[in-house]
Amino acid sequence: MGLVDSHWFKGCGNETRGGGKFCAAAVVASVFVVTAALGAEPWTWTVEHPSPAPSSRFAHSMSYDAVRKVVVLFGGQANVPAGTGALNGETWELAGAVWSQKIVAGPGARGSQRSVFDSVRNRTVLFGGANLSTTFQDTWEWDGATWVERNVAGPSARGGQAMAFDSVRGVTVLFGGSTVQGTMRLDTWEWDGTTWALRAQTGPSGRTLSAMAFDEGRGVSVLFGGFSGTAVLGDTWEWNGAGWTQRFVAGPPARTMSAMVYDEKIGAVVLVGGRLSGGNDFADTWAWNGTEWREIGTSGGIKAAYHGLARDKSRDVIVRFGNQGSEFSAGTWKLNAPPCPSDLNGDRVVDDADFVIFLAAYNVMDCADAGMPADCPSDMNRDGVVDDSDFSVFVVGYDEMVCGGSV
Ligand SMILES: [Ca+2]
Ligand SMILES: [Ca+2]
């Protein structure tokens, strides 16, 4: 039972329209506590096969340029058996469903580099990686037109490091990684666009191929798992700019070669796939809101490891490309949250803010009226009029308060 019950609905249904009174005061004054919950409806994976598109690959880097609204992909290794595939130095961008290759000079062919989008300076920052014999320690920046190498001192050569952009403090955070020969790193660095600063040498144990993402709501970089050189890890850590804190919580099974993004709509980092051991990859999806890990039910997905992952905010999807796993697919995969029709402002929570939007349209009634908000958002049944039949649909979501699949 939510805060709006059928008694309340009946009591307000006969109010005069147009006056804006419609019981708004009683409801808006109610106190909402949105508790963490997972709906029964699964999130949905869909796969597209646009052309052109990057060739099949893994160990590439992917990040989302929130200003130009494109996913930037660089490099990677062809997905052929025994890890013998060719490395490339290609730059691609994905705008919605359309891939385009940028034919430009840039970093050399490599894999296991990582990239993030610096939303303060509007640059995609790429560091390190390796080819089959050499580990890199170069820093590059991409503005959509040109790759620029930043010739500065910084972290030692490594690939598979964790990276995230701390948009609160305006720095790229880098942790760990390894050389191609297998030497593990455990140092934490930050790049402010001018200088790499060594920030910590204690925290998570030395490891490579961890997943990391910046939680924009809580202002911390979240790290999960990775490979120590001898063991696959399943620990959760957070970096706040001053120190690392391990979060001792039940969570996803240990894994390496996973990937994580922050989903601002649900206020949680989302972890997708990864590998426990050769031939033992995951198809699961998890969300961490700072308090607990919850598994998100999904449909239509496949196992994936060593894939690229990005959150396309403008299109409200999580994009996955590439995979080293046995269920490899060359397609462009997108993870959509379940539909949530009562969430009229699109923030994945149904609350009083949505009710205010509903009421505004309810008071106008006719979708054709010049005073109706664009797209007639409250016409739930799409019959051109906002009336009690729409309210009976809206109130179902309002009673549940959270969208199906929210965390
Ligand atoms: Ca909402
Ligand atoms: Ca209607």
**What average pLDDT does this structure show over 255-271?**
95
Mean pLDDT of all residues belonging to the chain:
87
Whether residue 272 is predicted with pLDDT greater than 70 in this model: the reply is yes
CA of 185 from ligand 1 middle (Å) equals 43
Ligand index nearest the alpha carbon of residue 357: 1
Whether residue 132 is predicted with pLDDT greater than 70 in this model: the reply is yes
CA of 390 from ligand 1 middle (Å) equals 16
What's the CA gap between 391 and 345, in Å, rounded? Answer: 16
Which tokens is 1 given?
């039972």
Residue 40: its pLDDT value, please? 57
CA of 30 from ligand 2 middle (Å) equals 26
What's the CA gap between 59 and 110, in Å, rounded? Answer: 8
Which tokens is 335 given?
């993870």
Residue 329: its pLDDT value, please? 66
Residue 407: its pLDDT value, please? 52
CA of 272 from ligand 2 middle (Å) equals 38
Residue 8: its pLDDT value, please? 24
CA of 385 from ligand 2 middle (Å) equals 4
Q: How confident is the model at residue 15 (pLDDT cuts 50, 70, 90)?
A: very low
CA of 335 from ligand 2 middle (Å) equals 29
Long-range contacts from 140-145, C-beta under 8 angstroms, 24+ separation: 140/106, 140/107, 142/72, 142/74, 142/91, 142/106, 142/115, 144/65, 144/68, 144/70, 144/93, 145/104
Whether residue 57 is predicted with pLDDT greater than 90 in this model: the reply is yes
Tokens 């919580």 correspond to 249
Show the domains of the chain with their CATH numbers: 6-39+350-400 (no CATH), 43-336 (2.120.10.80)
Across the beta sheet with 196-200, the strand order is 162-166, 171-178, 184-191, 196-200
The distance from CA 131 to its chain's CA centroid, rounded to whole angstroms, is 27
Q: Which helix (H) or strand (E) covers residue 24, if one does?
A: helix 24-28
Whether residue 163 is predicted with pLDDT greater than 80 in this model: the reply is yes
Whether residue 226 is predicted with pLDDT greater than 90 in this model: the reply is yes
Q: Which of 14-18, 262-266, 327-331 has the lowest mean pLDDT?
A: 14-18
Ligand index nearest the alpha carbon of residue 356: 1
Residue 242: its pLDDT value, please? 98
Which tokens is 375 given?
């797209």
CA of 345 from ligand 1 middle (Å) equals 5
Q: Which residues make Cβ contacts (< 8 Å) with residue 68, sequence separation at least 6?
A: 93, 144
Ligand index nearest the alpha carbon of residue 354: 1
Protein residues near ligand 1, an ion, with CB under 5 A: 343, 345, 347, 349, 354
Q: What is the pTM of this model?
A: 0.85
CA of 105 from ligand 1 middle (Å) equals 44
